[in-house]
């Protein structure tokens, strides 16, 4: 998360499911998967965000097309932003009732403050203030962090490996930075307190 906007990575994860330039209908991706025997989910951890889905093998190609659009041109519409902010805030309120969540927050408070693990990652209405600045922060965060050199893609399908690779190249070369050289390995900090 950028300094001063705890929970933005988690919020971005939620927002990517709510429309892209190529597939602007908010429920397009999940509706497509559900119609074809699949589902999807995602989670944001302290250092990365993971997206995954499954679908009837005959519909892998169009599912990948929809999935890749998350990383190419998300919409982050104002109406979806406001609605999803309510969902994030509700998720945080629900978490506060969980002993496991509270113990996890205690553990995070004892971590090295320079490590991402120590940060508040869920977000809520206090950290993700609604308005045009939040949408711009989402766009900036996506542009800075959702770049091919910082991503790993795994496709599992019935097709031979060369065909799966061709699909990956077809749909994911539009992800920003796909043509650039790989980034240097990030410096890993220990989450243990300093």
| Structure confidence by residue, pLDDT tens digits, 125-158 | 989 988 888 999 999 999 999 999 999 999 999 9
Is 177 a member of any domain?
no
- Tell me whether residue 13 is one of the annotated catalytic residues: yes
Is 37 a member of any domain?
yes
Is 192 a member of any domain?
no
Is 140 a member of any domain?
yes
What residues make up the domain containing 130?
8-172
Length of the chain: 194
| CATH number of the domain within which 113 lies | 3.30.830.10
CA 108, distance to chain mean position in Å, is 21
pLDDT, residue 122, reads: 86
Point out the catalytic residue in the list 13, 28, 73, 91. Answer: 13
Per-residue confidence band for 43, with pLDDT thresholds at 50, 70 and 90: very high
pLDDT, residue 186, reads: 53
Is 179 a member of any domain?
no
pTM for the predicted model, two decimal places: 0.85
Counting residues of the chain whose pLDDT is more than 90, the rounded percentage is: 60
Is 20 a member of any domain?
yes
Q: Give the total number of structural domains in the chain.
A: 1
The answer to whether 123 touches 88, Cβ cutoff 8 Å, is: yes
CA distance readout (Å), 85 to 19, 30, 57, 67, 122: 15, 19, 34, 22, 11
Per-residue confidence band for 183, with pLDDT thresholds at 50, 70 and 90: very low
């Amino acid at each position: 998360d950028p300094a001063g906007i705890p929970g933005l990575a988690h919020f971005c994860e939620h927002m990517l499911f709510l429309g892209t330039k190529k597939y602007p209908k908010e429920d397009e991706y999940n509706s497509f998967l559900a119609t074809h025997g699949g589902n999807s989910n995602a989670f944001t951890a302290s250092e990365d965000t993971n997206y995954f889905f499954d679908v009837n093998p005959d519909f892998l190609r169009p599912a990948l097309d929809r999935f890749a659009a998350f990383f190419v041109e998300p919409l982050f519409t104002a109406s979806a932003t406001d609605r999803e902010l309510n969902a994030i805030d509700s998720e945080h309120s629900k978490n506060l009732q969980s002993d496991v969540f509270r113990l996890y927050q205690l553990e995070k408070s004892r971590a090295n403050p320079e490590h991402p693990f120590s940060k508040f990652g869920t977000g809520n209405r206090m950290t993700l203030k609604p308005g045009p600045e939040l949408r711009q922060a989402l766009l900036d965060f996506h542009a800075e962090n959702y770049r091919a050199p910082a991503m790993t893609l795994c496709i599992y399908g019935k097709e031979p490996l060369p065909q799966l690779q061709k699909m990956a190249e077809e749909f994911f070369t539009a992800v920003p930075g796909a043509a650039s050289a790989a980034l240097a390995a990030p410096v890993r900090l220990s989450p243990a307190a300093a």
